[in-house]
């Protein structure tokens, strides 16, 4: 596995904006003094006249994006997930969500894998917050290929979109040549009949690795990638519950209100089965190297393997 | 200002005030005080200043207005109805279930340029509209009306920095300085004074205006048009509840509807004012 290419999805975000800037002349990028970190600086370098730094003022940035959108422009408002979904929540709700404006929110540095900066910057609540806003589309891409495709899908979708990107470089497992992004559609990455692992974002690759280990131990696990958390692909989830009996969800987010909750909402209503949620268990993170933190919080293939086995034992 | 034009604006403003009372009375809730204090300014903007198109409300190059103090929606709605964006009958179902007119401005209502009401947010959207106009070399102007209490919101000052940074001289903010907010006098609650000095320090061109004198209103907005490379704020000295005697300068009318008897008194007063102007 030495030749696995790794890339942070924030990098994919910045590159995609720069690549798509020629094709979509209506695309504008806003940032809040984090262009070097969110990677919108890549766009800024190529299209300086279409990039506007709003300074450290995320609330105003979201409002400015809303105003731009009322005039037909497509603004990408970029900052860390903590500030996009957290600090600016009410502006996103009232100035973007309620008027259903065509604003795209590029939220980077999501989850515990922010690493050394610690709990203040590790946003494990953004999916939960954004899910409650009517009409908000939420995309949490799993790797570089998917992240780039998601940015174009967001442009083509008319309405507010929240996109979640990571700071940590993670394996690129999708095939750039054949990959097709379908908004709102889950992806069955691996078929299986014993149990289903439903993962999102950086956890999809961990789920794939876990399934390989489980296979060697005689457990046939299905793996589903939910890149669009809202609207969620109910069919693929219900089908998995029917065909495999139990479900494990994995996300780099609080177990409250994220993918696991969304999956439970679908299954509780339509086809109740046992669901075990892997995520951040209602605690704050802390400082440390990202990879070590992911292991510590159980956001890794080993813990998925253990959890699947325990779920099947019950 | 030409005397006949001035009189016509005063008549229109009086009718708009009647619409405000009509709306709030029928809603049995709402915010008459701050609505009445901005009635003359809205009258001037929609009947003398702004390029707006009731028959084509979304026309790309129209001037725009964001009512950042969105709770004063009755004033905006009454103005838009008077200007022909929708029927005045709509005012009677303000805030009712299924009604066009929501408690706070909603972008889907003809003539309303932005949803607003959560204080401090409208000015940011107005900045976005103005920025867009600059980017695309559009001729339109963007106006936004804020309350004097509203500017206690930190987001207003984020927007104030932004507007200066991007030299938004196509943006005019109006601060409605009626001196009262829900909990009392603004200087007693958490004073935003000195308002003019603050905006000047943020790089804005500041104009002071008497909000109930159309000559002065015209002077202020004409001056605003001459300012280049910086945003303009008009700090208007106004009377909360202006035009209805028992509501004037009385904070208890910030967010309360008149009962049937009070409604009759208000409408009688406004009718007398109207008769005086027309007679």
Identify whether A180 is part of a domain: no
* Residue A194 and residue A82 in one domain: no
Quick one: average pLDDT of A6-29?
A: 98
Identify whether A270 is part of a domain: yes
How many domains would you assign to chain B? 1
What percent of chain A is modeled with pLDDT above 90? Answer: 98
Q: How far is B91 from chain A (nearest CA, A)?
A: 21
Q: Would you say how long chain B is, in residues?
A: 279
CA distance linking residue A243 with residue A223, whole number of Å: 13
Predicted confidence band at B34 (pLDDT cuts at 50, 70, 90)? very high
Identify whether A177 is part of a domain: no
Task: For strands A221-225 and A187-190, give the pairing.
Answer: antiparallel
Q: Is the pLDDT of residue A1 over 60?
A: no
Counting Cα atoms < 13 Å in the Cβ hemisphere of A29 gives: 33
Which of A57, A134, A96, A76 is CA-nearest to residue B116?
A: A96
- pLDDT score of A4: 87
Q: Which two tokens stand for residue B102?
A: 């929501």
Q: How far is B145 from chain A (nearest CA, A)?
A: 15
Which domain does A306 fall in, by range?
A: 187-313
Q: Which two tokens stand for residue B208?
A: 């002071």
Which CATH number goes with the domain that contains A35?
3.40.50.970
Instruction: Give how far Cα B66 sits from Cα of A271, B36, B159, B276, Å.
Output: 47, 17, 14, 33
What percent of chain A is modeled with pLDDT above 70? Answer: 99
Question: B128–A52: do the CB atoms touch at under 8 Å?
Answer: no
* Residue A70 and residue A199 in one domain: no
CA distance linking residue B254 with residue A13, whole number of Å: 47
- pLDDT score of A3: 73
- pLDDT score of A314: 75
Q: For A179-238, write each residue's pLDDT tens digit.
A: 999 999 999 999 999 999 999 999 999 999 999 999 999 999 999 999 999 999 999 999
Cβ(A196)–Cβ(A246) below 8 Å: yes
Q: For B128-152, write each residue's pLDDT tens digit.
A: 999 999 999 999 999 999 999 999 9
Pick the catalytic residue from A58, A206, A209, A251. Answer: A58
* Residue A149 and residue A95 in one domain: yes
Cα A291 from chain centroid (whole Å): 18
Test the A interface: residue of B60, B105, B128 with most A CBs within 10 Å: B128
Test the A interface: residue of B58, B60, B106, B124 with most A CBs within 10 Å: B124
Cβ(B175)–Cβ(B202) below 8 Å: no
* Residue A15 and residue A146 in one domain: yes
Question: A63–B133: do the CB atoms touch at under 8 Å?
Answer: no
Q: Does A69 touch chain B (CB under 8 A)?
A: yes
Q: Does A87 touch chain B (CB under 8 A)?
A: no
Last residue of a domain, one of A171, A201, A224: A171
Question: B128–A90: do the CB atoms touch at under 8 Å?
Answer: no
Identify whether A182 is part of a domain: no
Identify whether A179 is part of a domain: no
**Reading across the β-sheet that carries A74-80, which strands appear in turn?**
A51-53, A27-31, A74-80, A104-108, A161-164, A137-139, A228-230
Instruction: Give how far Cα A116 sits from Cα of A109, A143, A285, A293, B219, Å.
Output: 12, 22, 10, 9, 57
CA distance linking residue A188 with residue A190, whole number of Å: 6
- pLDDT score of A2: 52
Which uninterrupted H or E stretch holds A163?
strand A161-164
Question: B121–A67: do the CB atoms touch at under 8 Å?
Answer: no
Q: Does A20 touch chain B (CB under 8 A)?
A: no
B128: nearest CB among A50, A63, A90: A63
How many C-beta neighbours within 10 Å does residue B167 have?
16
Residues 6 or more apart whose Cβ sits within 8 Å of residue B229 = B167, B169
Cα distance between the two ends of chain B: 20
Question: A63–B155: do the CB atoms touch at under 8 Å?
Answer: yes
How many C-beta neighbours within 10 Å does residue A19 have?
15
A-chain residues near B131 (CB < 8 A): 52, 64, 67-68
* Residue A143 and residue A49 in one domain: yes
- pLDDT score of B279: 83
Identify whether A224 is part of a domain: yes
* Residue A11 and residue A40 in one domain: yes
Identify whether A303 is part of a domain: yes
* Residue A167 and residue A191 in one domain: no
Which CATH number goes with the domain that contains A196?
3.40.50.920
- Across all residues in chain A, what is the average pLDDT? 97
Quick one: average pLDDT of B34-41?
A: 98
Nearest residue of chain A to residue B121 (CA atoms): A63
**Does the annotation mark A215 as catalytic?**
no
CA distance linking residue A267 with residue B240, whole number of Å: 55
Task: For chain A, positions 159-198, list CB contacts with chain B under 8 A.
Answer: none
- pLDDT score of A93: 98
CA distance linking residue B17 with residue B213, whole number of Å: 15
How many domains would you assign to chain A? 2
Q: For B66-91, write each residue's pLDDT tens digit.
A: 999 999 999 999 999 999 999 999 99
CA distance linking residue A146 with residue B96, whole number of Å: 46
Q: For B181-214, write each residue's pLDDT tens digit.
A: 999 999 999 999 999 999 999 999 999 999 999 9
Quick one: average pLDDT of B23-52?
A: 98
B-chain residues near A83 (CB < 8 A): none
* Residue A109 and residue A83 in one domain: yes
Which domain does B76 fall in, by range?
A: 3-278
B-chain residues near A54 (CB < 8 A): 158, 162
Which of B144, B157, B235 is CA-nearest to residue B201?
A: B157
Which of B177, B76, B57, B66 is CA-nearest to residue B127?
A: B66
A-chain residues near B66 (CB < 8 A): 67
DSSP track, B107-118: TTSTT--S---S
Test the B interface: residue of A70, A73, A94, A96 with most B CBs within 10 Å: A70
Predicted confidence band at A86 (pLDDT cuts at 50, 70, 90)? very high
* Residue A249 and residue A135 in one domain: no
Q: For A151-175, write each residue's pLDDT tens digit.
A: 999 999 999 999 999 999 999 999 9
* Residue A14 and residue A74 in one domain: yes
Q: Which residues pair with A6 in a beta bridge?
A: A171
* Residue A164 and residue A100 in one domain: yes
Quick one: average pLDDT of B112-136?
A: 98
Which of A100, A111, A106, A180 is CA-nearest to residue A138?
A: A106
* Residue A163 and residue A198 in one domain: no
B-chain residues near A75 (CB < 8 A): 128
Which of A280, A277, A261 is CA-nearest to residue A128?
A: A261
Question: B161–A55: do the CB atoms touch at under 8 Å?
Answer: yes
Q: How far is B111 from chain A (nearest CA, A)?
A: 13
B125: nearest CB among A50, A66, A90: A66
Instruction: Give how far Cα A58 sits from Cα of A105, A162, A237, A275, B115, Å.
Output: 11, 15, 35, 37, 19
Q: For A46-59, write each residue's pLDDT tens digit.
A: 999 999 999 999 99
Which CATH number goes with the domain that contains B187?
3.40.50.970
């Amino acid at each position: 596995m030495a030749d696995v290419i790794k890339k942070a999805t924030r990098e994919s975000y910045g590159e995609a904006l720069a690549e798509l800037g020629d094709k979509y002349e209506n695309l504008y990028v806003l940032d809040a003094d984090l262009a070097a970190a969110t990677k919108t600086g890549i766009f800024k370098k190529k299209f300086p006249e279409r990039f506007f730094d709003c300074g450290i003022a995320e609330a105003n940035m979201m409002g400015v994006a809303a105003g731009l959108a009322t005039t037909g422009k497509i603004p990408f408002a970029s900052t860390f997930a903590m500030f996009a979904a957290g600090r600016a929540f009410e502006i996103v709700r009232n100035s973007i969500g309620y008027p259903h404006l065509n604003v795209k929110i590029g939220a980077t540095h999501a989850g515990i894998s922010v690493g050394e900066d610690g709990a203040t910057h590790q946003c494990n609540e953004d999916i939960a917050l954004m899910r409650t806003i009517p009409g908000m589309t939420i995309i949490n891409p799993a790797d570089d290929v998917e992240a780039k495709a998601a940015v174009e899908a967001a442009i083509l979708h008319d309405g507010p979109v929240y996109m979640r990107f990571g700071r940590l470089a993670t394996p690129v497992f999708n095939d750039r040549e054949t990959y097709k992004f379908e908004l709102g559609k889950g992806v069955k990455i691996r078929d299986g009949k014993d149990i289903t692992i439903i993962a999102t974002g950086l956890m999809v690759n961990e789920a794939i690795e876990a399934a390989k280990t489980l296979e060697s131990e005689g457990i046939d696990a299905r793996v589903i990638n939910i890149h669009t958390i809202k609207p969620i692909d109910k069919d693929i989830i219900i089908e998995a519950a029917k065909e495999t009996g139990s479900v494990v969800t994995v996300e780099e987010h609080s177990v409250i209100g994220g993918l696991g909750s969304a999956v439970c909402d679908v299954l509780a209503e339509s086809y109740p089965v046992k669901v075990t949620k892997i995520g951040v268990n209602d605690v704050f993170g802390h400082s440390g190297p990202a990879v070590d933190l992911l292991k510590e919080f159980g956001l890794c293939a080993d813990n998925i393997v253990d959890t699947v086995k325990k779920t099947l034992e019950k | 200002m030409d005397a006949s034009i001035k009189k016509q604006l005063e008549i229109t403003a009086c009718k708009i005030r009647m619409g405000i009372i009509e709306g709030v009375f029928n809603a049995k809730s709402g915010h008459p005080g701050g609505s009445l204090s901005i009635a003359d300014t809205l009258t001037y903007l929609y009947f003398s200043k702004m390029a707006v198109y009731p028959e084509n409300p979304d026309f790309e190059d129209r001037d725009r207005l964001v009512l950042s103090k969105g709770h004063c929606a009755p004033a905006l709605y009454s103005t838009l109805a008077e200007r022909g964006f929708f029927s005045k009958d709509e005012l009677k179902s303000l805030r009712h279930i299924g009604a066009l007119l929501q408690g706070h401005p909603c972008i889907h209502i003809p003539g309303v340029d932005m949803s607003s009401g959560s204080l401090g947010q409208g000015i940011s959207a107005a900045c976005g509209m103005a920025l867009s106009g600059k980017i695309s070399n559009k001729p339109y102007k963007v106006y936004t009306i804020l309350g004097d209490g509203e500017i206690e919101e930190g987001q207003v000052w984020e927007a104030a920095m932004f507007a200066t940074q991007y030299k938004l001289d196509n943006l005019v903010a109006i601060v409605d300085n009626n001196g009262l907010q829900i909990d009392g006098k603004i200087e007693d609650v958490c004073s935003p004074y000195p308002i003019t000095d603050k905006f000047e320090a943020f790089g804005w061109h500041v104009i002071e205006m008497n909000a109930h004198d159309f000559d002065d209103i015209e002077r202020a907005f004409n001056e605003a048009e001459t300012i280049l490379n910086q945003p303009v704020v008009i700090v208007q000295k106004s009377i909360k509840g202006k035009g209805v005697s028992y509501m004037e300068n009385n904070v208890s009318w910030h967010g309360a509807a008149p009962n049937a008897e009070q409604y009759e008194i208000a409408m009688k007063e406004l009718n007398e004012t109207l008769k005086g102007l027309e007679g």
